[in-house]
């Protein structure tokens, strides 16, 4: 487990408690934090299909994102979390190609899913069914620089200033281009970003239709979490409830800056029990 990962993705209070408890709930031959899913080194061969939901699912027929390609570089490969549904991998490639055409820089791609998806030993509750990918908002000049500048213990920098209320000067037209391209991609269902980023874009982008796909969430001030819709080839994929049609720039966004969202929350002493994985997912790890 990497403490820095907890800091990075810490969704505060209750969710953090759940992550911590699940991460420590190893048993049998597993070391603390490990899950059977994190030991699997091979994809499950078969027609691609995302199964279950982002926080309780798995993936058959995953593609591996290459270490580097036009306009993108995949970082922290030692985590072995660079697998996803082929649509997810295609989407990343297309964003990379768009950035390459724009300025020759590279987007830095973080975690997708494990070879067969499933629960991870650290950092995320989601990223389980091959449809989630983290993309850092900092761009790289070269693959070598990207890998060198992002050791496990040092994340790329935040895009927000003090108190996470305003964009800082690391944010610029390239970041706007990247998040807009992701939001406008037809396969993308939603993008989790810090409320400070969403608010700034609500102000500068004047109710643009793509803003609705930006969903405010804790953290996510240095990277965006892009989630795809359930693909047609995946009948067992559990689609989240749809993103509202409005821009989400009004009262919903204001809540994040109010007292309720920012006061300390009570944490549950007992985390909610982890749901059983779908049966089709249990089959994928049966022999491990």
Task: List interacting residues with Zn ion (CB under 5 A).
Answer: 134, 225
Residue nearest to Zn ion (CB): 225
Contact 230, 238 (CB under 8 A): yes
Phi, psi (degrees; rounded to nearest 5) at 26: -65, 160
Least separation in angstroms between residue 179's CB and Zn ion is 14
User: Which of 10/166 has CB closer to Zn ion?
Assistant: 10
User: Which of 116/223 has CB closer to Zn ion?
Assistant: 223
Least separation in angstroms between residue 226's CB and Zn ion is 8
C-alpha triplet 282, 83, 234: angle, nearest 5° = 55
User: Which of 190/225 has CB closer to Zn ion?
Assistant: 225
Least separation in angstroms between residue 215's CB and Zn ion is 12
Least separation in angstroms between residue 181's CB and Zn ion is 18
Least separation in angstroms between residue 69's CB and Zn ion is 20
Cα dihedral sign for 179, 181, 186, 187? negative
Q: Of 127, 134, 152, nearest to 62 (Cα)?
A: 127
Percent of the chain as helix, strand, coil, to the nearest 5? 35, 20, 50
75-109: b or e for each residue (b if 16 or more CB lie within 10 Å)? bbeebbbbbbbebbbbbbbbbbebbbeeeebbbbb
User: Which of 192/211 has CB closer to Zn ion?
Assistant: 192
User: Which of 34/134 has CB closer to Zn ion?
Assistant: 134
Q: State the residue for tokens 């359930």.
A: 230
């Amino acid at each position: 487990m990497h403490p820095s990962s907890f800091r990075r993705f810490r969704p505060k209070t209750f969710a953090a408690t759940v992550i911590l408890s699940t991460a420590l709930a190893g048993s049998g031959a597993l070391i603390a934090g490990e899950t059977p899913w994190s030991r699997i080194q091979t994809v499950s061969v078969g027609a691609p299909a995302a199964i279950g939901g982002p926080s309780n699912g798995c993936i058959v027929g995953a593609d591996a994102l290459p270490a580097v390609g036009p306009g993108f570089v995949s970082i922290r490969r030692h985590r072995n979390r660079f697998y996803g549904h082929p649509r997810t991998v295609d989407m990343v490639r297309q964003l990379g190609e768009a950035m390459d055409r724009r300025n020759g820089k590279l987007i830095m791609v973080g975690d997708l899913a494990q070879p067969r998806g499933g629960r991870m030993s650290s950092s995320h509750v989601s990223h389980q069914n091959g449809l989630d990918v983290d993309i850092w908002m900092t761009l790289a000049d070269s693959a070598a620089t990207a890998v060198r500048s992002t050791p496990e213990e040092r994340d790329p920098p935040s895009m927000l200033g003090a108190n996470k209320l305003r964009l800082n000067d690391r944010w610029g037209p390239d970041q706007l281009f990247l998040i807009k391209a992701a939001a406008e991609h037809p396969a993308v269902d939603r993008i989790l970003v810090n409320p400070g980023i969403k608010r700034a874009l609500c102000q500068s982008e004047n109710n643009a239709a793509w803003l609705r796909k930006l969903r405010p969430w804790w953290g996510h001030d240095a990277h965006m979490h892009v989630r795809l819709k359930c693909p047609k080839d995946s009948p067992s994929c559990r689609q989240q409830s749809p993103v509202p049609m409005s821009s989400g720039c009004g009262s919903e966004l204001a809540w994040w800056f109010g007292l309720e969202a920012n006061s300390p929350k009570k944490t549950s002493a007992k985390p909610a029990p982890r749901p059983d994985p779908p049966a089709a997912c249990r089959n994928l790890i049966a022999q491990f």
